[in-house]
């Protein structure tokens, strides 16, 4: 019998069609059930409502155990767009006290995947965030009228001490970038923004939980699914104990009213920061609740830049607070000794070059030079080092060594504080001057101003305070940090490892003596505190844009020091005019918990003085 090849071919064709159809169905089912999450969400959404359970954010205490930051309940209005039916928009807007235009804007932004990458009409979306208990109470009475709307409990921050805005930071709603960078976040979540809230976010935020509720055929909630056995409880964030003394911080902000600048106070023996005052500042409570956006915009547009943390971001010429570093280098390198005398008859003079100085006895040795802040002494010492051909073959070789000493004392690079945004300041190197002046075309006289903390030298108030702590410790420092303890967590060894400078500890005692003399008989006399043995160094930093900056660094007591401090007040003139009094009042407050009666007038004058008027920025 002859075989029918056409029938044979049709068999394979029909089989192929059947297989193709089967593959299409399989692929479509795979797409619907695995790839297309909207279908799965729709299917689950018909039967379940998954409510995120937000954890309690970690609490923040100060070093004395005072509660600084805590939580209070807030309420987010959630919308499941697919379930919104027969919606009376005007009645809803009236219930939550917003306009229809604002409602439409919020809905449009919620549906815009540029701002809300995880948007799905089947899942809950944030419509209104951080309603107060009073606002929630009004809505709750009429909530049953609005299908597809429910209220989600969460927390917002509250403050027992409404201080340290830049230090504490705040929390804000996550952005599309936050969501893309961390799978923990979903649209409508909150994250730390600035300060401690940002740098310790992973400890503070905790772990979210979920509550699964069962719906009936009409979408009404019938209770927990399987009596809640599939619910996941949230895990609270870890509590933080700061090294900050809240009372000292508040006092520093009181003294820095109507001023631009910074105060940094450090415990030398640990590197723990006792106060971190940036002025002008802002109250962290203004960035809580539904007014956050409006208040944040005001801070951004403020001419005085209160969001700019000058303690770690401000870079300034350190002025004469830099001179102790020069003394230490000269002693270590054998350039000078305690009996070396340099002339000062109106300043440092070399040919046509003159660096001015104020009246004081001359010639002068190192300790009196520190006490009187003699510019000439440090310029002559710097020149003697860079021009010394018996020790160094070239100027750039000597300067590179000088720079290495300065870096070992904490300048020129970030110190590594546990806060976001720290700047490194600037210490020039030989390559910098080679590029600027041409190689071999510069010498000590070309860059003489760096010897007195001017010229290209820039430092943050944190670095200046750290130098004070280093001198207090006689040659070493700990990385400054603001968090003392994390609940159930071992602190990173970064903050417990000492950093030794390139200068032998024996030379520091001479610097301490010179800084003590500055208080007893020199430029810091106004800062003397009875019974404390305060050691200090003034700084009057030249400012090409206006009035000079007032600076001070010091520590107390002289032996076994408990506090080291730096104060920098922009456009405030001589160091002794503002920075020294403010620094000594801070030290007295910390050590004695009160201000002596005979210094009350000084305290009042510092707190009520206005130096912003000298800044070139008109007051609002």
pLDDT category of residue 114 using cuts at 50, 70 and 90: confident
H or E stretch including 556?
strand 549-556
d(CA 464, CA 564): 10
Phi, psi of 127 (to 5 degrees): -100, -50
pLDDT category of residue 122 using cuts at 50, 70 and 90: confident
- Cβ atoms 196, 202 nearer than 8 A: no
**Which of 80-94, 205-219, 560-574 is the least confident region?**
205-219
Residue 408 pLDDT > 70, yes or no? yes
- Cβ atoms 157, 171 nearer than 8 A: yes
User: 213 forms bridges with which residues in the sheet?
Assistant: 49, 224
pLDDT at 87: 86
pLDDT category of residue 577 using cuts at 50, 70 and 90: very high
pLDDT at 411: 98
**Which of 61-75, 212-226, 508-522, 526-540 is the least confident region?**
212-226
Nearest to 468 by CA among 425, 426, 511: 511
Please state, rounded to an integer, the average pLDDT across all residues of the chain: 90
pLDDT at 133: 80
- Cβ atoms 108, 115 nearer than 8 A: no
Using a cut of 0.85, tell me whether the model's pTM lies above it: yes
pLDDT at 264: 98
Q: Which sign does the torsion angle of CA 370, 478, 567, 526 carry?
A: negative
State what percent of residues in the chain have pLDDT above 90: 65
Residue 7 pLDDT > 80, yes or no? no
Q: Which sign does the torsion angle of CA 389, 392, 394, 395 carry?
A: negative
Over residues 334-344, the pLDDT tens digits come to 999 999 999 99
Instruction: Tell me how crowded residue 381 is: count the other CB atoms within 10 A of its CB.
Output: 24
d(CA 360, CA 368): 9
Once rounded to an integer, what is the mean pLDDT over residues 319-336? 98
H or E stretch including 6?
helix 5-30
Helix-strand-coil split of the chain, %, nearest 5: 40, 20, 40
pLDDT category of residue 479 using cuts at 50, 70 and 90: very high
pLDDT at 620: 38
Over residues 23-67, the pLDDT tens digits come to 777 776 666 555 555 545 544 555 667 778 889 999 999 999 999
pLDDT category of residue 204 using cuts at 50, 70 and 90: very high
Residue-wise DSSP of 441-485:
---GGGGGGGGGT-TT-BB-HHHHHHHHHHHHTTSEEE--BSEEE
E-only strand ranges, 142-295: 149-159, 170-173, 190-193, 209-215, 221-224, 240-242, 261-267, 272-279
Once rounded to an integer, what is the mean pLDDT over residues 2-8? 56
Residue 116 pLDDT > 60, yes or no? yes
User: Residue 33 carries which DSSP code?
Assistant: I
User: Residue 525 carries which DSSP code?
Assistant: G
User: Residue 88 carries which DSSP code?
Assistant: -
H or E stretch including 95?
helix 89-96
pLDDT at 222: 63
Side-chain half-sphere of 318: how many Cα atoms within 13 Å? 32
Q: Is pLDDT larger for residue 213 or for residue 359? A: 359
Side-chain half-sphere of 617: how many Cα atoms within 13 Å? 16
pLDDT category of residue 552 using cuts at 50, 70 and 90: very high
Please give the angle made by the CA atoms of 238, 243 and 248, to the nearest 5 degrees. Answer: 130
pLDDT category of residue 619 using cuts at 50, 70 and 90: very low
Over residues 284-322, the pLDDT tens digits come to 999 988 788 899 999 999 999 999 999 999 999 999 999
pLDDT category of residue 167 using cuts at 50, 70 and 90: very high
Over residues 151-164, the pLDDT tens digits come to 888 888 999 999 99
Convert 133-169 to b/e letters by CB count within 10 Å (16 or more is b).
Answer: eebbeebeeeeeebebbbebebbbbebebbbbbbbbb
């Amino acid at each position: 019998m002859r075989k029918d090849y056409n029938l044979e071919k049709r068999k394979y064709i029909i089989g192929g069609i059947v297989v193709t159809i089967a593959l299409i169905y399989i692929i479509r089912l795979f797409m619907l059930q695995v790839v297309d999450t909207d279908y799965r969400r729709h299917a689950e959404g018909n039967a379940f409502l998954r409510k995120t359970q937000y954890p309690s954010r970690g609490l923040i205490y100060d070093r004395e155990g005072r509660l600084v930051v805590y939580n209070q309940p807030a309420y987010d209005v959630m919308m499941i767009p697919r379930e919104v039916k027969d919606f009376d928009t005007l009645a809803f807007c009236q219930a939550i006290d917003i306009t229809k235009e604002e409602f439409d804007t919020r809905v449009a932004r919620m549906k815009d995947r540029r701002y809300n990458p995880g948007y799905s009409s089947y899942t809950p979306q944030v419509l209104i965030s951080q309603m107060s208990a009073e606002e929630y109470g009004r809505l709750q009475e009429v909530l049953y009228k609005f299908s597809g709307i429910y209220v989600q409990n969460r927390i917002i921050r509250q403050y027992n001490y409404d201080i340290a805005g830049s230090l504490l930071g705040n929390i804000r709603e996550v952005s599309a970038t936050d969501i893309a960078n961390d799978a923990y976040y979903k649209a409508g979540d909150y994250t730390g923004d600035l300060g401690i809230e940002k740098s310790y976010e992973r400890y503070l935020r905790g772990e979210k939980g979920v509550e699964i509720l069962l719906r009936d055929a009409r979408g009404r909630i019938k209770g927990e699914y399987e009596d809640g056995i599939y619910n996941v409880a949230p895990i609270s964030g870890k509590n933080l104990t700061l090294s900050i003394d809240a009372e000292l911080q508040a006092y520093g902000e009181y003294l820095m009213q109507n001023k631009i600048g910074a105060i940094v106070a450090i415990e030398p023996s640990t590197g723990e920061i006792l106060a971190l005052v940036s002025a002008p500042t802002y109250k962290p409570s203004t960035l809580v609740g539904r007014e956050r956006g409006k208040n944040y915009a005001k801070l951004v547009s403020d001419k005085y830049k209160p969001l700019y943390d000058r303690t770690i971001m401000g870079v300034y010429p350190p002025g004469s607070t830099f001179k102790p570093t020069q003394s230490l280098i000269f002693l270590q390198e054998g350039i000078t000794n305690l009996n070396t005398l340099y002339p000062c008859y109106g300043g440092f003079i070399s040919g046509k070059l003159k660096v001015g100085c104020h009246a004081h006895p001359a010639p002068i040795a190192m300790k009196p030079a520190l006490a009187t802040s003699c510019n000439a002494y440090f310029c002559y010492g710097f020149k003697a080092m860079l021009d010394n051909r018996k020790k160094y073959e070239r100027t750039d070789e000597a300067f590179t060594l000088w720079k290495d000493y300065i870096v070992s004392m904490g300048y020129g690079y970030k110190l590594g504080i546990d806060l976001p945004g720290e700047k490194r300041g600037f210490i020039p190197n030989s390559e910098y001057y080679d590029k600027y002046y041409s190689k071999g075309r510069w010498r000590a006289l070309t860059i003489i101003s760096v010897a007195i903390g001017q010229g290209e030298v820039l430092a943050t108030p944190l670095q200046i305070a750290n130098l004070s702590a280093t001198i207090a410790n006689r040659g070493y420092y700990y990385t400054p940090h603001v968090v003392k303890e994390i609940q159930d967590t071992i602190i990173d060894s970064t903050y417990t490892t000492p950093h030794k400078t390139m200068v032998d500890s024996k030379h520091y005692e001479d610097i301490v003596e010179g800084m003590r003399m500055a208080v007893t008989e020199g430029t810091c006399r106004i800062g003397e505190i009875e019974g404390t043995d305060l050691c200090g160094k003034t700084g009057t930093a030249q400012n090409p844009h206006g009035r000079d900056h007032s600076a001070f660094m010091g520590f107390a007591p002289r032996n076994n020091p408990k506090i080291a401090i730096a104060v920098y007040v922009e456009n405030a003139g001589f160091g002794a005019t503002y920075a020294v009094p403010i620094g000594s009042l801070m030290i007295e407050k910390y050590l004695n918990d009160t201000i002596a009666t005979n210094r009350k007038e000084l305290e009042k004058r510092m707190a009520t003085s206005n130096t912003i008027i000298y800044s070139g920025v008109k007051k609002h």
